[in-house]
C-alpha cells in the first residue's frame, strides 16, 4: 500500500494498491492511443433491414467514432436526419478524446436512411422492437497506449503486484489482477473536484452551502477570469451581478445565480434548493451519487489501512454473486444477489470468490442500506460518523433522493501489458473506471489521466 498525492486524496483515493513506481507518461496524444470497445449484451432480437417497421421501429447500428463525445455524435446524427435527439439511444456514454466502438439505435428511421457522419464508421445491424438501453452495456474493453513513459519497464512490475493484490500468482500472466474499485476522477471533477463536496452539503440539508460550493469554489487549473468571477460572487453574493460576471461557459452557475436573483428578499433554504434544481435532473442525481462515491472510496481506504483483503471476505462481509448472464471473460457483479459471509458460510463464500463467482462489497449509502457485521460494518459506521452522515439523510426531495446500493470492493480484470510503447489491454465491467487501473500503472499527475 502506497500513499497517493493530495489531489487524489481529495477524491478519497488516498492509496495505491501497488508499491512500485509507475511508468509515468501521458495519455491521449492522439485519439487512437485510447480505444474503447463496448462489451454488449443487447437482449432484443435484431431482425433484417426489411423487417416490419411497425413491429421493429428501431434501427440498430454499431459506430466506431474518432474524436466524438457520444452526446455530440447523437446531436450531429439527429440534425442530419432532421429528427429529435430523443429518438437516438445508446448503451454507454464515451469521451471524445478516444476511438470508441459502441451500439446505438434510432427510432423510425429506415436502415438505408442512416447517414454518413464525419469521423464515424457506421455499421447498420438491422431492426429491433426496442431501443438500445443503458442495461445493454455489460462493460468495456480498453486498449491504451502510454506515450513518453519515463519507466516503461515498470508496467509489468506493477501488473505483478496487482495480480497478488487480487489473490493470484504474481508470476502467472494469465491470472487476473485487481485494484480497489475506487470511483475515478471523472466522478468528482478532474480539474475542480468539488462534486462530492456539493453532494455532502445536499445530504446534510444545507442547500445554501451546496450552492456556494458549486458556484464559488475555484480550481487551480481554471482560467483566471473564471477564478476571479467565482471569488467576486463569494465576496459580494450579488446574484444579479454574478449572472453578468460569470463567463458564459459556466451556464449552470449562471442559471443558479439567475434563480437566486429573482428571489423576493434575501434567499432562504427553499430558494437555494430551487437554484440547485435548475440543474438538469441527471446532474442533480450526480451530486448525491458523488457524495456516496466519496464515502465509498473512504471505506475502501479504511479497509486498506486495516489490512483487510479485497479478494476474499472476512467475518461479517456482505458479498454479491456474479451476474449469470455476463459475457464470457467479464467479471460482472450482480448486487441484487447478496449474502452475509459469516460462520460456516464464510469458507463456502470464499471458494466462490476464488473462482470469480462472488465479490466482497461495500455500501453506497442510502436510506435502505444494510450495514455489514463485524469489522467491515464498523468501518462503514466510522466513516459515516466522521462525515456526520446517517442513512436517513438520503431521504431527500425529488432527484436528490437515494435508497443506496452496494458495489464490489475489488475491480478484477485481465490485464495484458505490451511494450514499446507500453500498451495496456483490459476489460472492465460497467460502472468501473479505466483511470483506476491507469493510476496504478502510471502513478502520475491525476490531471494527466483524463
Do 111 and 92 share a structural domain?
Answer: yes
Q: Rounded distance, CA 345 to CA 62, Å?
A: 44
Number of domains comprising the chain: 4
Given 21, 69, 95, 334, the catalytic residue: 95
pLDDT surpassing 80 at residue 147: yes
Q: Rounded distance, CA 16 to CA 26, Å?
A: 19
Q: Rounded distance, CA 297 to CA 360, Å?
A: 14
In a domain, 191, yes or no: no
User: What residue has cell string 438505408?
Assistant: 112
Q: State percent of the chain over pLDDT 90.
A: 90
In a domain, 192, yes or no: no
**Is 95 an annotated catalytic residue?**
yes
pLDDT digits (tens, 9 = 90+) for 163-183: 999 999 999 999 999 999 999
Do 440 and 354 share a structural domain?
Answer: no
Domain that holds residue 400: 284-408
CATH number for position 252: 1.10.1510.30
Do 302 and 242 share a structural domain?
Answer: no
Sign of CA dihedral 115, 120, 121, 126: negative
pLDDT digits (tens, 9 = 90+) for 62-84: 999 999 999 899 999 999 999 99
DSSP E strands: which ranges in 238-332? 318-322
Do 155 and 135 share a structural domain?
Answer: no
Do 332 and 237 share a structural domain?
Answer: no
Confidence of residue 422 (pLDDT cuts 50, 70, 90): very high
pLDDT surpassing 80 at residue 305: yes
Q: Find all residues with CB under 8 Å of 119, minimum gap 6, and list them.
A: 65, 66, 67, 68
Sign of CA dihedral 255, 261, 265, 268: positive
Do 272 and 290 share a structural domain?
Answer: no
Predicted pLDDT at 74: 95
Q: Rounded distance, CA 24 to CA 445, Å?
A: 9
In a domain, 339, yes or no: yes
Distinct helix (H) and strand (E) counts, the chain: 13, 16
CATH number for position 329: 3.30.2350.20
Q: Look up the pTM and report it.
A: 0.93
pLDDT digits (tens, 9 = 90+) for 29-70: 999 999 999 999 998 999 999 999 999 999 999 999 999 999
Which of 139, 156, 179 is the last residue in one of the domains?
139
Do 306 and 263 share a structural domain?
Answer: no
Q: Rounded distance, CA 74 to CA 104, Å?
A: 9
Of residues 186, 190, 214, the one with CA closest to residue 200: 214
Q: Rounded distance, CA 363 to CA 380, Å?
A: 8
Of residues 129, 131, 138, the one with CA closest to residue 45: 129
Beta bridge partners of 60: 105, 126
137 φ/ψ angles, rounded to the nearest 5 degrees: -100, 120
Predicted pLDDT at 19: 97
Confidence of residue 443 (pLDDT cuts 50, 70, 90): very high
Amino acid at each position: 500500500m502506497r500513499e497517493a498525492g493530495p489531489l487524489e486524496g481529495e477524491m478519497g483515493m488516498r492509496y495505491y494498491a501497488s508499491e512500485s513506481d509507475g511508468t509515468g507518461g501521458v495519455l491521449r496524444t492522439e485519439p487512437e492511443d485510447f480505444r474503447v470497445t463496448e462489451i454488449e449484451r443487447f437482449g432484443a432480437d435484431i431482425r433484417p433491414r426489411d423487417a416490419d417497421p411497425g413491429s421493429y421501429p428501431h434501427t440498430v447500428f454499431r459506430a466506431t467514432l474518432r474524436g466524438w463525445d457520444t452526446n455530440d455524435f447523437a446531436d450531429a446524427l439527429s440534425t442530419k436526419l432532421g429528427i429529435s435527439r430523443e429518438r437516438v439511444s445508446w448503451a454507454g456514454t464515451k469521451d471524445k478524446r478516444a476511438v470508441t466502438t459502441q451500439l446505438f439505435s434510432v427510432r423510425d428511421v429506415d436502415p438505408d436512411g442512416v447517414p454518413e457522419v464525419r469521423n464515424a464508421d457506421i455499421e447498420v445491424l438491422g431492426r429491433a422492437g426496442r431501443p438500445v438501453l443503458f442495461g445493454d452495456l455489460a462493460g468495456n474493453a480498453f486498449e491504451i497506449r502510454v506515450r513518453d513513459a519515463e519507466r516503461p519497464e515498470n508496467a509489468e512490475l506493477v501488473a505483478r503486484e496487482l495480480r497478488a493484490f487480487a489473490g493470484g500468482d504474481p508470476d502467472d500472466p494469465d491470472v487476473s489482477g485487481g485494484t480497489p474499485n475506487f470511483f475515478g476522477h471523472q466522478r468528482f471533477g478532474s480539474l475542480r473536484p468539488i462534486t462530492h463536496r456539493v453532494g455532502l452539503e445536499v445530504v446534510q440539508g444545507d442547500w445554501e452551502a451546496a450552492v456556494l460550493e458549486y458556484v464559488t469554489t475555484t480550481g487551480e487549473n481554471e482560467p483566471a477570469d473564471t477564478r476571479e468571477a467565482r471569488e467576486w460572487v463569494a465576496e459580494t453574493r450579488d446574484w444579479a451581478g454574478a449572472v453578468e460576471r460569470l463567463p458564459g461557459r459556466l451556464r449552470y452557475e449562471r442559471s443558479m445565480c439567475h434563480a437566486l436573483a429573482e428571489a423576493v428578499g434575501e434567499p432562504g433554504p427553499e430558494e437555494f434548493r430551487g437554484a440547485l434544481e435548475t440543474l438538469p435532473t441527471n446532474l442533480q442525481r450526480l451530486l448525491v451519487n458523488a457524495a456516496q462515491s466519496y464515502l465509498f472510496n473512504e471505506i475502501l481506504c479504511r479497509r486498506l489501512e486495516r489490512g483487510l483483503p479485497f479478494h476474499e471476505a472476512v467475518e461479517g462481509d456482505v458479498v454479491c454473486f456474479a451476474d449469470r448472464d455476463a459475457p464470457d471473460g467479464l467479471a460482472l457483479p450482480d448486487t441484487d444477489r447478496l449474502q452475509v459471509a459469516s460462520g460456516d458460510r464464510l469458507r463456502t463464500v470464499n471458494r466462490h470468490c476464488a473462482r470469480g463467482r462472488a465479490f466482497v462489497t461495500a455500501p453506497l449509502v442510502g436510506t435502505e442500506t444494510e450495514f455489514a457485521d463485524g469489522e467491515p460494518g464498523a468501518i462503514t459506521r466510522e466513516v459515516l460518523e466522521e462525515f456526520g452522515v446517517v442513512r436517513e439523510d438520503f431521504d431527500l426531495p425529488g432527484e436528490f433522493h437515494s435508497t443506496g446500493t452496494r458495489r464490489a470492493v475489488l475491480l478484477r480484470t485481465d490485464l495484458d501489458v505490451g511494450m514499446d510503447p507500453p500498451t495496456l489491454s483490459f476489460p472492465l465491467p460497467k460502472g468501473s473506471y479505466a483511470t483506476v487501473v491507469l493510476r496504478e500503472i502510471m502513478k502520475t499527475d491525476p490531471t494527466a489521466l483524463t
